Chain A
């Protein structure tokens, strides 16, 4: 049997397994909005561990991250730095968010913010920004799935068909089972991603150089500039410390603010589950180490791929791996893409309905759930259509999304920890921060020391939020009591 047929069979088995798991998952959850969006707040530790890990690491993990290590060297270490730091605040914030969610019925981030700061404008603004950030993100996941399938089948399955197969399945299981499908499939996909990453990350350096140490010895001789932070830019010049450091900082701040991750705080069964998910997260973060080893193993390979992002499939197809391994690699890369894509698709439909539409109309629980399902289909179709058109501008859009999403952090912190914050303060701070971020993204030459535009946005937003809050009338005591339960110290 030729390799591509064998590989196609493995991909087929893998995709069917995902579909079955996804469809089975929803049978136990209730037919309500809370069931569809927050799995009746009933995820245990195993699922929470994989749902957070697999959601965070997208197709970027198997394509972009090795591509960074391969072409930009130590610049890729920034990807190692922010995950743990970004996750830890959830240890304290998570149980509070979840408790407020149970008491006040929240299932999204915007409901928390606009619950504390009542404003439909605020709610709609957050919904619009989230979905605007999600669509390019989903599109890139679909494109990633198409690229991987296309390359491992030697071009026999075209890009459009690969993306359609993988994401057709994602749309079906998210539509039927909601977040329960995301949870159970991500557990399956998460195991795949981690095992494949470690296997390849160790195999490739040993196969090509006789070990990890010998590989780096040779890179140190031939390309020493790749091993010293802050590494290189995409054009091969030296990257600046200002950019390197502020990329880490903005990623730490923005990490939890991604709504598809934030919303998972509402799915945990209890506070201990949520806390343990945070404590165990560094073990998932380790998975980036073999990923970067894969990228470094391509540095001295005699041939080079057309695009650094395809270094991993490029190496796999040129190192005489058995077709079974090629097929499993493909499944691992698809797992990374689909486990993020499903969470994004689910979150954008939920947010559009709960924060963008429901506050302006009267809709029953059933009608909202039905609308969410339609929107899963619509969002999936829009992203698929975009994936078939020009996507280079989407990478730009996504790069700016991190800065914009990070602007939600002050609002979340103010909602949870600062009694004196007011609706006017939060709204004006958010708008000021977002405008600043967008301005410096469009005119990066004005950003001092190459600092990430999102950091500059926060530097504008925080003083505006504080000043306007202090100048406007404090919120009523009865309103605050719902958010700050009596007797608990409110210092954090």
Chain B
């Protein structure tokens, strides 16, 4: 994946995270049922945004790292 694509995808995820957890995005999740993993849907919704940020940030870091290695290795950008 190219650096630009990776940053765009990670940025898109984070913007969706913000929209999805604040008004008006959160309205779609502002309910109790269905329960997921024992949590009411609203609680699960917030937990899931944190959980998915882990793989997203990991992938972003892999692409950023490969790009830095190609360029020269470890200068500040």
B55 to chain A, nearest CB (A): 10
Contacts of A77 in B (CB 8 A): 21, 42-43, 46
CB nearest neighbor in A for B77: A488
The A/B interface has a contact count, at CB < 8 Å, of: 105
In the complex, which residue of chain A has the Cβ closest to the Cβ of B11?
A: A88
Using an 8 Å CB-CB cutoff, how does the interface string of A56-91 with B read, 1 for contact, 0 for none?
000000000000000000100100110111001001
CB distance from B53 to the nearest CB of A (A): 5
What separation, in Å, do the CA atoms of A90 and B18 have in the docked complex?
A: 17
Tell me the residues in window 10-29 of chain B with beta carbons closer than 8 Å to chain A beta carbons. 14, 17-18, 21-24, 26, 29
Query: Which residues of A have CB within 8 Å of B24?
Result: 241
Task: Collect the chain B residues with CB atoms within 8 Å of residue A33's CB.
Answer: none
Which A residues are CB-close (under 8 A) to B29?
A: 229
Write out the residue numbers on chain A whose beta carbons fall within 8 Å of the beta carbon of B17: 81, 84-85
Contact of B54 among A213, A275, A283, A289 (CB under 8 A): A283
Contact with B along A222-243 (1 / 0, CB 8 A): 0010011110000000000110
The answer to whether A245 and B22 touch across the interface, beta carbons within 8 angstroms, is: yes
Query: Given that A80-B47, A92-B77 are contacting pairs, would A279 and B38 also be in contact in the complex, using a CB cutoff of 8 Å?
Result: no
A232-274 residues at the B interface, CB under 8 angstroms: 241-242, 244-245, 248-249, 252, 270-272
Q: Quick one: given A88-B14, A271-B74, A279-B61, are A228 and B42 in contact (CB under 8 Å)?
A: yes
User: CB-CB < 8 A to A96: which residues of B?
Assistant: 76-77
Check B30 against A228 for contact (C-beta < 8 Å): yes
Size band of the interface chain A makes with B: 35 or more
- Give the complex CA separation of A83 and B50 in angstroms: 9
A285 touching B23, Cβ below 8 Å: no
State whether A216 touches B77 (Cβ < 8 A). Answer: no
CA distance A212 to B40 in the complex (A): 10
Chain A residue numbers with a CB within 8 Å of B21 are 77, 80-81, 248
B77 to chain A, nearest CB (A): 6
What separation, in Å, do the CA atoms of A333 and B5 have in the docked complex? 43
B31 at interface by CB-CB < 8 Å = yes
Distance in angstroms between the alpha carbons of A97 and B14 in the assembled complex: 22
User: How far does the Cβ of B16 sit from chain A's closest Cβ, in whole Å?
Assistant: 11
- Asked if A229 and B51 sit within 8 Å, CB to CB, the answer is no
Which residue of chain B has the shortest Cβ distance to A89 in the bound complex? B14
Asked if A98 lies at the interface with its beta carbon under 8 angstroms from chain B, I say yes
Contact assessment for A227 and B40 in the assembled complex, using a CB-CB cutoff below 8 Å: yes
- A385 close to B (CB within 8 Å): no
Contact B76 A276 (CB under 8 A): no
Instruction: Tell me whether A213 and B22 are in contact (CB under 8 A).
Output: no
Answer whether residue A44 sits at the interface, using C-beta atoms and an 8 A cutoff: no
- CA gap between A98 and B77 in the complex, in Å: 11
B18's nearest neighbour on chain A, judged by CB, is A85
Task: Tell whether B9 is near chain A: CB-to-CB under 8 Å.
Answer: no
A-B contacts, 27 of them at CB < 8 A, read: A77-B21, A77-B42, A81-B17, A81-B21, A83-B50, A91-B57, A91-B60, A92-B77, A96-B76, A211-B38, A216-B35, A216-B43, A220-B33, A228-B30, A229-B29, A229-B30, A230-B23, A248-B18, A252-B18, A270-B74, A278-B57, A279-B58, A279-B61, A282-B57, A285-B50, A286-B50, A488-B76
Q: Chain A interface (Cβ within 8 Å of chain B)?
A: 74, 77, 80-81, 83-85, 88, 91-92, 95-96, 98-99, 211-213, 216-217, 220, 224, 227-230, 241-242, 244-245, 248-249, 252, 270-272, 275-276, 278-279, 282-283, 285-286, 289, 292, 485, 488
Contacts A77-B21, A279-B58, A488-B77 known; 14 new A-B pairs at CB < 8 A: A81-B22, A84-B49, A88-B14, A91-B61, A96-B76, A96-B77, A249-B18, A249-B22, A270-B74, A272-B65, A279-B60, A279-B61, A282-B51, A289-B47
